[in-house]
Structure 1
Amino acid sequence: MKLIYVMDPYCGWCYGASEQVEKLAAHYGDQLQLEVLPAGMWAGSNARPQSSHLARYIQSHDLQVANRTGAKFTDVYFRTLQDASRVLDSEIPSRAIVTVSDKWPALLLTFIHAIQHARFVDGKDLSNDDTYIAIAESLGIPADQFLQHFHSDAMRLQTLRTFEKAATYAHSYPSILMVKGTKLIPIEQGYETAETIIRKINQRFNEAYDINLN
């Protein structure tokens, strides 16, 4: 079974859904091939410096996420939203995710959650190499190897290709799609519990299987 998970490291709802995605992966274990596609929500021409107006917009959504999912957002994080020296550029954390997906795939979901925790709990800057060095070292990834790949032209190109691929599957995040044969079946758009997602997957998997039999 293959699932495609479209997300963005700056997406509050994706942070809220992270525990559910980890439960999903644990439930299916080796039965599941999970392809994670960072979508580049704030990348390219959409990258922008933080501002008081943007901070109000982001915080209002994050409070909805907290109320719906129970995800923790700290006062430290909310204060960093007022820092106009910070630039929201999804390409940078997405490139970190693409790097780990390519070089250390077994650590991918743990690495993604650590990036989200760094921003939404610790208030770290996702444009700063030090953020990723600390995460890499905590997971046993040699920092020098990580940085070598992270800053390579190959990873930059692969990240842009990932954005293009993600755009063919979804325009809102988080989104989960199931690949069954030649079928691409939407499973989740927005936040749902792991139990609901699993029920939908099993239902659609059986439906697709019955169609193939007939």
Structure 2
Amino acid sequence: MNSDQELIYIWDAYCGWCHGFSKTVHRLHNNHPELPLTILSGGLFTGNRSQAIGAFPHIAEANQRISQLTGAEFGSGYQELLHDGSFVMDSELAAIGFYALRSVAPEHAIELAAAMQHAFYVEGKSLSEPETYRTIALANHIDAEAVLTLFHDPASQEAARAEFADVSALGVNSYPTLLLRSGNEYTSIGGTMNVEEIEARLAKLHNVQPEAALYCAMDSPEGC
């Protein structure tokens, strides 16, 4: 395998399909420890799109489909937010939170991303609140005070915005998106496929051999 390869997972913490894709990308990462994984925030609800969840009436129906196809859980805490409709999704603050968590424990980025989506989609916690990140940090045995210091640091906002710009420069504007970088070449693998489908694309396009861990593929296929 080309040693100059990595997987790039582009997500948004407030993206329901990313919540559904979480287990798949985690399993893929476990299948291929030889492929470094970089996780970047895309910025779904920023600017004029950072609105109350009730402004997006399609979300409830989309969540049903996501749950049916991926088995993702949408908990009672989240359902209360959805029913009330006033909760404002702010992807920039969520990206700052992820940047803070990832900076303190980069080796656990994939677990921390999943923890953020569990906090929102299962427990109904705001990803704009510092206390959410304290809870995630403590649960994952990382320095909560260091995370909160970074969350409040103005430089973290600039870093999150720079990450949005990097994602835009890659031509990615939908989430989740999984890319394989080989040298200076970036190839989209997909974003809502199951592990078997992604493994097949890796093997076909880049001679990445599927591992025996294909058993971890989801029973139900994912799709938009």
Do these two structures clear the TM 0.5 threshold for a shared fold by scoring above it? yes
Give how far 1:100 is off: 2.4
Please report the RMSD computed on the Cα atoms of aligned residues, expressed in angstroms. 1.6
Pairs aligned (count): 203
In the alignment, the residues of structure 2 paired with residue 50 and residue 179 of structure 1 have an alpha-carbon distance, to the nearest angstrom, of: 34
1:13 lines up with 2:17 in the alignment: yes
Give how far 1:98 is off: 1.6
Cα contact 2:74–2:121 (8 A) shared by 1: yes
1:183: which partner in 2? 185
Cα contact 1:59–1:78 (8 A) shared by 2: no
In the alignment, the residues of structure 1 paired with residue 103 and residue 111 of structure 2 have an alpha-carbon distance, to the nearest angstrom, of: 14
In the alignment, the residues of structure 2 paired with residue 89 and residue 132 of structure 1 have an alpha-carbon distance, to the nearest angstrom, of: 15
Instruction: Normalising by structure 1, report the TM-score.
Output: 0.89
2:218: which partner in 1? none
In the alignment, the residues of structure 1 paired with residue 73 and residue 83 of structure 2 have an alpha-carbon distance, to the nearest angstrom, of: 19
* 1:144-190 residue CA offsets vs partner (Å, 9 max, x unmatched): 111001111221111000011112231111111111122211111x3
1:144 lines up with 2:145 in the alignment: yes
1:89 lines up with 2:90 in the alignment: yes
In the TM superposition, 1:53-64 aligns within 5 A as: 53-54=55-56, 56-64=57-65
In the TM superposition, 1:31-70 aligns within 5 A as: 31-51=34-54, 53-54=55-56, 56-70=57-71
Cα contact 1:50–1:82 (8 A) shared by 2: no
Instruction: Tell me the SS of whatever aligns to 1:184.
Output: strand
| Structure 2 counterpart of 1:179, one-letter code | R
Cα contact 1:2–1:179 (8 A) shared by 2: yes
In the alignment, the residues of structure 2 paired with residue 84 and residue 72 of structure 1 have an alpha-carbon distance, to the nearest angstrom, of: 19
Give the % identical residues: 31
In the alignment, the residues of structure 2 paired with residue 172 and residue 88 of structure 1 have an alpha-carbon distance, to the nearest angstrom, of: 17
1:24 lines up with 2:28 in the alignment: yes
Runs of 5+ unmatched residues, structure 2? 209-224
Instruction: Tell me the SS of whatever aligns to 2:7.
Output: strand
2:221: which partner in 1? none
Segment of structure 1 superposing worse, 66-75 or 11-20: 66-75
Runs of 5+ unmatched residues, structure 1? 208-214
In the alignment, the residues of structure 2 paired with residue 138 and residue 76 of structure 1 have an alpha-carbon distance, to the nearest angstrom, of: 19
Instruction: Normalising by structure 2, report the TM-score.
Output: 0.85
In the alignment, the residues of structure 2 paired with residue 41 and residue 162 of structure 1 have an alpha-carbon distance, to the nearest angstrom, of: 13
Give how far 1:139 is off: 0.8
* 1:77-110 residue CA offsets vs partner (Å, 9 max, x unmatched): 1221233542110111111112222231011111
Cα contact 2:104–2:146 (8 A) shared by 1: no
Instruction: Tell me the SS of whatever aligns to 1:60.
Output: helix
